[in-house]
Structure 1
Amino acid sequence: MLDRLRLITAWIASLLYWIFGGTGFLLLCLLLPVVFNEDDAKMVGQSFLRTAFRGFLKLLSWFEIVECEYVGFERLKDQQGGMIVAPNHPALWDAVFVLAEVDHMACVLKASLMCNPILFGGATAAGFIPNEPTHKMLRQCIDMLKGGGRLLFFPEGTRTRAENGELNPFQGGLALVAKNAGVPVWPVYVKTNSRYLNKGWPLWRLPTEKVSLSMTVGEPLHFPANGDPQTFLNELRQCYLTALKSPAA
């Protein structure tokens, strides 16, 4: 009974955290363009969002909802110039864990999420890029990366579907961005002991056990000169399949 009460309290606390946080970011995304130029405003917004995500994860840790082991993330922090960080996507909160650990990074997200009042302010302030229309998304990603930006891009396009096994098919947009921006793709292998927040898991349904995550940075891949996008995606996807089957990943 007490355990159930702890989970319910954590759920309510998380909801209140993001209601107030979302309101604050709505104000922030209006204020930042007035005070800073466009690039500086995004950098400040990304730092604020990272702080908010770190606070949220501390809240979840305090309630003993989740624990996450980060492996190799110092390599991302030390990386200079543009880069694509590409995790597999088993659960809804994957982006939160990555963005809480790596500063000054934008994210490609579903365009429909920009209509969510809780998410809109933070996503706008941090310069997140909606995935539709596709041609605009590709151009924004390439321009940002050529300017030395960091981009969180989920190669599966959406959370992993159970019928697809370990991974969904990879989307072609990642290969096109990597090819035209000329930046490395850093795979991040995400493993979890729980189906919590997987595809089809409703937000109101609480986990039945403490969720453990591991996030491991793999070796970067560059799109080869005169390479083929599908061949690149196949090679990249095989890296994930191999790593996710390994106990060490």
Structure 2
Amino acid sequence: MAAILHPFMRDGAARRLGRRAITGVFRIYLFLLGALGACRFDISELDALKDQGPMILAPNHPCLLDAVMVIARLPNVACIMKASLMKNVFLGGGARLARYIPNGRPLQMVYAACEALSAGGQLLMFPEGTRTVRAPVNEITPSVALIARRAKVPVQTIIIETDSDYLSKGWPLFRRPPMPIHYRVRLGRRFDPPANATTFCGELEAYFAEELARARFVPPQFATERPSAAHTL
């Protein structure tokens, strides 16, 4: 349906419909995971961001459920996603309708992200670039700093914790984890638009490392490396 509607709707209407529809689907999905006893979610802190205007939402990123949890609570989010997923038969139509942004061409991605922010939306992007493989956080990529500086918007960090390695990088697709899995999302520091991308990336990486050391949940693969570190979504 989304693929059919996409060519015939104006940008504003398509964006609103697509994003609200995806938020609704993700809410139902998380509700079902909770009802089945598979997961326990503590993500209500995200609600405080709903009416706070354009900003970059920057969570850490070891799990495939991270974007689902954020978007399920925030209905006006543009998401930067893999370019290949925009052509996916199941995900592509909705993503295009919601005006999500492919990451295939970096310069075009930056321009599109700034346009999404200037239209009043919030932008979800993961500063690590990929799911966490190095405890407690990967090296931060400069994209978030470049977009924040160009768009002149703050960067709101989001700390997402879990007690499981489920759907982390390298997790076998059909391997069943111990359940229920606990997820907790809390709001971190909000950074002003950076003046220097390199300095900002270092500050952001140090901040994530410090916050993750205080995490409530620690997944097994990181528990032996640093007992106080968290593996987040």
Output aligned runs, 1:105-120, within 5 Å. 105-120=77-92
Which residues of structure 2 form unaligned runs of 5+?
218-233
How far off is 1:58 after superposition?
A: 1.0
User: Structure 1: which 4+ aligned runs deviate by more than 4 Å?
Assistant: none
Query: How far, CA to CA, are the matches of 1:118 and 1:148 in structure 2?
Result: 27
Which residues of structure 1 form unaligned runs of 5+?
1-26
Structure (1/2) with the larger helix percentage: 1
Residue by residue over 1:185-221, the C-alpha shift from the partner in whole angstroms, topping out at 9 and shown as x without a partner, is 1000011100000001132222123110111111211
* 140-149 or 44-53, which deviates more: 140-149
Residue by residue over 1:27-77, the C-alpha shift from the partner in whole angstroms, topping out at 9 and shown as x without a partner, is 12321542x311221111100110000111111111111111125323311
Partner of 1:231: 199
Output aligned runs, 1:42-121, within 5 Å. 42-70=15-43, 72-80=45-53, 82-121=54-93
CA RMSD of aligned residues (A): 1.6
| CA radius of gyration, larger in | 1
Query: How far, CA to CA, are the matches of 1:147 and 1:115 in structure 2?
Result: 24
160, 165, 168: which one aligns with 1:190: 160
How far off is 1:238 after superposition?
A: 1.6
Corresponding position: 1:31 with 2:5: yes
Amino acid at match of 1:236: L
Work out the number of aligned pairs and report it: 217
Amino acid at match of 2:14: A
Instruction: Call closer, same or farther: CA 1:100–1:66 in 2, change over 3 Å.
Output: same
Where 2:40 maps in the other structure, the secondary structure is strand
Amino acid at match of 2:84: S
Query: How far, CA to CA, are the matches of 2:52 and 2:156 in structure 1?
Result: 10
How far off is 1:124 after superposition?
A: 1.4
209, 212, 220: which one aligns with 1:244: 212
Query: How far, CA to CA, are the matches of 1:118 and 1:133 in structure 2?
Result: 22
183, 206, 214: which one aligns with 2:176: 206
Query: How far, CA to CA, are the matches of 2:86 and 2:176 in structure 1?
Result: 25
Amino acid at match of 1:61: G
* Contact kept? 1:106, 1:150, Cα under 8 Å: yes
How does the TM-score come out when normalised to structure 2? Answer: 0.88
How does the TM-score come out when normalised to structure 1? Answer: 0.83
Query: How far, CA to CA, are the matches of 2:158 and 2:128 in structure 1?
Result: 12
Partner of 1:23: none
Partner of 1:142: 114
